[in-house]
Amino acid sequence: MTGEMMHQEGLRFVGLSDSGVSRWGPPKSFGFLRQVPWLPIADTELLHLSHFCPIGVVLGETGPSVVALTHAFWHPKGSVDAKGGWAAPYMPMALRSLPFRLGAVAGAVEIAPELLAPSEAAFALYDEGGAPGPEFAQALDLLARVRRGALRLTEAAKALLLAEVLVPLQPLREGGHADVWVVSREAMLALPPRKAAALTVISNLGFELAGAALFSQRWLDPTRIEAGTARDRSDEVTLMPIVATIEDTVERLMVMDESELFSFEAFEAAETSTDG
């Protein structure tokens, strides 16, 4: 499951075109989130969410995804209040765009019918001309922003993998796959210069992600952090071939440009010959 899609237990998403839905409204309760391990996030909301829930990295078949950990197993304070409301002052864009999410196929939109209350389906999906209604268009814009921001965070998460600063969390269920990781403070403090330089990719987003993730660990149950690093457990995750070539990859990031510098004298000579 990638960070672009909300990871949910017991919540069914279907293709919007096959759902038969013509009117919709946002969910009135987020009580179902108590069963949701994590939510996808965008780079533009990373710092906001680090104030309210732990930030983790999920390693999936298509690569790493940066997520907000919402389940009480990792986040004891929880993200949902007793009445089923989102407890934090800032609500992630993935929640604001419900009951929709983007599908795995480009351009596909999915909907969770169980989140629709027929009596509160106030908005039409499409107007008379077939264009998305204003509320639906706003939800689509939010989904697009999440996808763009999630892709940027994926690149930053790859830099953290290359730097070997991720450690695993205990799986949500006994025997489950340990595919959720967090940043190690000790590993960050021990970073050698070359690996630290690798985190400067995408306008220092690697460092920004690491800092926000460490800051967010005030919400994380520390007993859920396991021993080992991403490299130590490379046989358990599908992305680890990237880490296996860390030395070569970081070396390529740091190669000096040794090409001949621009010669102003040659430029002047060329200009003079042209003028003459």
Residue by residue, pLDDT tens for the chain (276 residues) are 333 445 545 578 999 999 989 999 999 899 999 888 999 999 999 999 999 999 999 988 778 999 999 999 999 999 999 999 999 999 999 999 999 999 888 789 999 988 987 767 789 999 999 999 999 999 999 999 999 999 999 999 999 988 999 999 998 875 555 589 999 999 999 999 888 888 887 889 999 999 999 999 999 999 999 876 555 544 443 333 333 334 444 444 444 444 455 555 665 665 566 555
Give the phi and the psi of residue 200 in degrees, each rounded to 5.
-85, 0
- Asked if the structure places residue 2 within a domain, the reply is no
- Asked if the structure places residue 271 within a domain, the reply is no
- Asked if the structure places residue 38 within a domain, the reply is yes
Report the phi/psi class of residue 67: left, alpha or beta, with left for phi > 0 and alpha for psi in -120 to 50: beta
Distance set, CA 241 to CA 116, 216, 245 (Å): 42, 28, 7
- Asked if the structure places residue 263 within a domain, the reply is no
* Cβ neighbour number for residue 75 with a 10 Å cutoff: 22
- Asked if the structure places residue 5 within a domain, the reply is no
- Asked if the structure places residue 264 within a domain, the reply is no
Residue type for position 273: S
Residue 101 · residue 13 · CB < 8 Å: yes
**CA proximity to 210, closest of 198, 193, 226:** 198
Q: For position 175, what pLDDT does the model report?
A: 52
Please state the domain count of the chain: 1
Q: Which domain covers residue 214, as residue numbers?
A: 14-256
Cross-strand bridge partners of residue 180 = 58
Q: For position 229, what pLDDT does the model report?
A: 56
- Note if the bond before 37 is cis, omega within 30 degrees: no
Q: For position 202, what pLDDT does the model report?
A: 81
Q: For position 11, what pLDDT does the model report?
A: 76
- Asked if the structure places residue 152 within a domain, the reply is yes
Cα 165 to chain centroid distance, Å, stands at: 17
- Asked if the structure places residue 98 within a domain, the reply is yes
Q: For position 234, what pLDDT does the model report?
A: 40
Residue 111 · residue 99 · CB < 8 Å: yes
